[in-house]
């Protein structure tokens, strides 16, 4: 797989995180406060697709946003 493929997947995950947070009605600040170990600035970069996430971070985000891990990593048909 090439670099473009990985960048596209990272952006899809970033969009899914943004979508799930907005669906829950939370701001970036609220989500970062609830998680406790991700700053609002890092969450902003996550939603812009400029940060690589660990599986633990993805699982924590999924738990806090009341979605499955698959909801965050699967491409979403908008």
CATH code at position 61: 1.10.260.40
Identify whether 78 is part of a domain: no
Distance CA 8, CA 15 (A): 11
* Residue 3 pLDDT grade (very low, low, confident, very high; cuts 50, 70, 90): confident
Alpha carbon distances (Å) from 76 to 16, 20, 36, 55, 60 = 7, 11, 27, 19, 20
Q: Which domain holds residue 33?
A: 3-73
Identify whether 49 is part of a domain: yes
Q: In this model, does residue 78 exceed pLDDT 60?
A: no
The answer to whether 61 and 70 have CB atoms below 8 angstroms apart is no
* Residue 77 pLDDT grade (very low, low, confident, very high; cuts 50, 70, 90): low
Identify whether 9 is part of a domain: yes
- CB atoms < 10 A from the CB of 61, how many? 23
For the chain, give the mean pLDDT.
91
């Amino acid at each position: 797989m090439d670099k473009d493929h990985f960048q596209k997947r990272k952006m899809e995950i970033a969009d899914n995180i943004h979508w799930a947070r907005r669906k829950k009605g939370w701001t970036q600040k609220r989500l970062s406060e609830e998680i406790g170990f991700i700053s609002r600035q890092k969450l902003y970069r996550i939603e812009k697709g400029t940060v690589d996430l660990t599986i633990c971070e993805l699982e924590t985000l999924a738990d806090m946003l009341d979605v499955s891990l698959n909801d965050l990593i699967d491409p979403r048909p908008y």
